[in-house]
Chains A and B, each alone.
Chain A
Amino acid sequence: MVAVEFPIAYSLSERTWWLRYLIATGFVLVALTLNFLPPAQNLPFLFFFGAVALTARLCGFGPALYATALSAIAADYFFIHPGIHWGFSLMEILRMLLFALVCLLIASLAQQRSKAQRAAEMNQARLAAIVQSSDDAILSKTLDGIITSWNKGAERLYGYTEAEVVGKHVSLLSPPELPNDIPMIMSKLRTGEQVQHHETTRIRKDGTRLDISVSVSPLHDLAGNVIGASTITRDITARKAAEETLRKTEKLAATGRLAASIAHEINNPLEAVTNLLYLLRKNPSLDEKGRKHLSFAEQELERVTHISRQTLGFYRQVSSPSRMDVAKTLESALSVYSHKLEGQSIKVETKWGSGTEIQALAGEIRQVFSNLIANSIDAMPQGGTLTLKVSKAHNWGNGNRRGVRVVIADTGSGIAPEQQSKLFEPFFTTKRDVGTGLGLWVSKSIVQKHEGSIKVRSSVRPGKSGTVFSVFLPESMPASAAA
């Protein structure tokens, strides 16, 4: 470990000037007293030298000069010529000068040592400040893994204060599912090896997981023995999340390409079979039973066609806006789910207003409806009521634009208030197993592209739970979005 030494010298030299002179006076008085002790009878100046040296070391050069003068006067008064007198012999003056010279020499030597130490301390303080202010978490530990220092960055990263962790074992920070991670690092250290940018997981005080990159270097004593390690840890949770998002986006793009090529491959044979069945129906030799079978075949084919349009057609069917009837689009989006609705015994209530035509990208609007209906169905596994309403409307807020409002309401489990604000974020899903977390995000961007708005109200109150999505679409979409 790094032993940070803060001797008194550092603190004393920072004190006010009068205190330092007072201390100098004290030292001289002590020296004077010691001079009267029997063992010191024949060494009258020795203790004064000591007093000057200590003063220089602890209080600086000024107080040392003062202590020299004080010592000289005291020595003269008490030992050389006891009592007050005037006039000095040459010998006495020389002796005084010699005394002063030796004192100064001692003072300056002591002072230099103190200066060097102060510089070292300043350096250490500067390094400590750098460590403290670092954004990265920096900590040191013994070879046994006991934490010996802990900077502010570590406090921020892990949530523990210095006082809470110093003296504890670093395994405190390791998640239980990675029991070998820290022992592996420690064994590398003991052999003097470094660990560079090791990416792993740690656990915060509040129990949340962190993705981190950690670099560990051994600390040596003066003899070169490994006595511990310093660890620099960087939070890479955000980077990991960004990588994850990128991967998902790429996956999505790949899905889009795949869908486009599958659409082509499926729609051609679908067209051929549709034509063949049509021709078969025209065949006069077909008997009653054959006709019945043919009807079933046509119905089933209709389903395949629906599904193909629904899923594969999502990827940019038509890219210019056209007149479309919102109610008809909603109805056709609903028809795809008739089997599912029946299977989950969901009652459907519809209320179509008249004159609900708008200028929009029909395929994309259909996708919005389809997403919202699918969400509602997923929210009602035990059955319930799905209410769909389409009516002419004016935009609340933003001027007085005319358009169409679509309300899709379910009597499902509802969405908790803390989740409602995140609903439209990409990759947020309340349906862990089946959701991609993209449906509402895509829906919102489509609605916004049409300069419309989408709102949600939801309640989780037992017996009265449910979710209502309300979509407003203006009568005509902005020309800029049509591109």
Chain B
Amino acid sequence: MVVDDEPVVADTILEILKEEGIDGFAFSSGHDALNWFSRINPDAVIMDVVMPGLSGIAAGIEMRKHSPACRVILFSGQTSAADLLNEARAQGHQFEVLEKPIKPEVLLAQLLGHNGSGALASD
């Protein structure tokens, strides 16, 4: 499941994942993603942090409640994301975070491989 308010970003990521044999759905808002979440029941969610309406962090927290095993990887190109993440961390929610723009290779490594291989900005 890929969520980004920029459809081109969501769609291209989805396509990259397909190349690797990973199926998924793209959404352009946190609300849409949340509405479809229980029906799709994804293994992982790649989601933008700063989106109009529901933020990626708020959506991620809801998804975790629903399905604790689901991996939520957040990515953001905006500095204010740091504040949102701090807030989430203060409430006990830890997410994997990547910084935009992220190379597809790095994203795939993060998604498929081990957690935080050092080269990733897993902060």
A positions within 8 Å CB-CB of B: 259-260, 263-264, 266-272, 274-276, 278-279, 282, 305, 308-309, 312-313, 315-320, 322, 362
Which residue of A271, A278, A315 is within 8 Å of B79 (Cβ)? A315
A268 touches B9 (CB 8 A): yes
Which residue of A266, A267, A276, A315 is within 8 Å of B12 (Cβ)? A276
What per-residue 1/0 map shows which CB atoms of B76-101 lie under 8 Å from chain A? 01111011001001000000000111
Query: Is residue B13 contacting chain A, with contact meaning CB distance below 8 A?
Result: yes
* Residue among B4, B77, B80 with most chain A CB within 10 A: B77
What per-residue 1/0 map shows which CB atoms of B6-43 lie under 8 Å from chain A? 10110011011001000000000000000000000000
User: Interface SS of chain A: helix, strand, loop or mixed?
Assistant: helix
Q: How far is the CB of A208 from chain B (nearest CB, A)?
A: 42
Distance of A135 Cα from B13 Cα, bound (Å): 71
Which residue of A271, A316, A319, A322 is within 8 Å of B77 (Cβ)? A271
B80 touches A260 (CB 8 A): yes
Which residue of B8, B9, B86 is within 8 Å of A319 (Cβ)? B86
B12 touches A317 (CB 8 A): no
12 A-B pairs (CB sep. < 8 Å): A259-B79, A260-B80, A263-B77, A266-B77, A268-B77, A269-B6, A274-B104, A276-B12, A278-B103, A282-B19, A316-B79, A318-B82
Residues of A within 8 A of B77 (CB): 263-264, 266-268, 270-271
Asked, given contacts A272-B8, A279-B16, A318-B123, whether A267 binds B86 with beta carbons under 8 Å apart, the answer is no
B82 touches A270 (CB 8 A): no
Q: How far is the CB of A455 from chain B (nearest CB, A)?
A: 29
Query: Is residue B50 contacting chain A, with contact meaning CB distance below 8 A?
Result: yes
Residues of A within 8 A of B8 (CB): 269, 272, 276
Query: Is residue B109 contacting chain A, with contact meaning CB distance below 8 A?
Result: no
Residues of B within 8 A of A320 (CB): 86, 89, 123
A275 touches B9 (CB 8 A): yes
Asked, given contacts A263-B78, A316-B82, A319-B86, whether A271 binds B101 with beta carbons under 8 Å apart, the answer is yes
B79 touches A268 (CB 8 A): no
Query: Is residue B102 contacting chain A, with contact meaning CB distance below 8 A?
Result: yes
Interface pairs A-B: 10 shortest CB-CB: A267-B77, A275-B12, A270-B101, A278-B104, A271-B101, A264-B78, A272-B8, A267-B100, A322-B123, A268-B6
- Chain B residue with Cβ nearest A267: B77
Distance of A351 Cα from B69 Cα, bound (Å): 45
Residues of A within 8 A of B99 (CB): 309, 313, 317
Count of interface residues, chain B, beta-carbon cutoff 8 Å: 27
Residues of A within 8 A of B103 (CB): 274, 278
Report how many A-B pairs have Cβ atoms within 8 Å: 80
Which residue of A278, A308, A316 is within 8 Å of B16 (Cβ)? A278
Residues of B within 8 A of A259 (CB): 79
- Chain B residue with Cβ nearest A321: B123
- Chain B residue with Cβ nearest A261: B78
Residues of A within 8 A of B19 (CB): 279, 282
Q: How far is the CB of B67 from chain A (nearest CB, A)?
A: 26
B79 touches A260 (CB 8 A): yes
Which residue of B13, B79, B101, B102 is within 8 Å of A317 (Cβ)? B79
Residues of A within 8 A of B100 (CB): 267-268, 270-271
A279 touches B79 (CB 8 A): no
Residues of A within 8 A of B80 (CB): 260
Q: How far is the CB of A253 from chain B (nearest CB, A)?
A: 14
Asked, given contacts A264-B77, A279-B15, whether A319 binds B102 with beta carbons under 8 Å apart, the answer is no
A272 touches B79 (CB 8 A): no
Q: How far is the CB of B117 from chain A (nearest CB, A)?
A: 13
B104 touches A275 (CB 8 A): yes
B78 touches A267 (CB 8 A): yes
Q: How far is the CB of A243 from chain B (nearest CB, A)?
A: 29
A263 touches B79 (CB 8 A): yes
Residues of B within 8 A of A266 (CB): 77
A272 touches B16 (CB 8 A): no
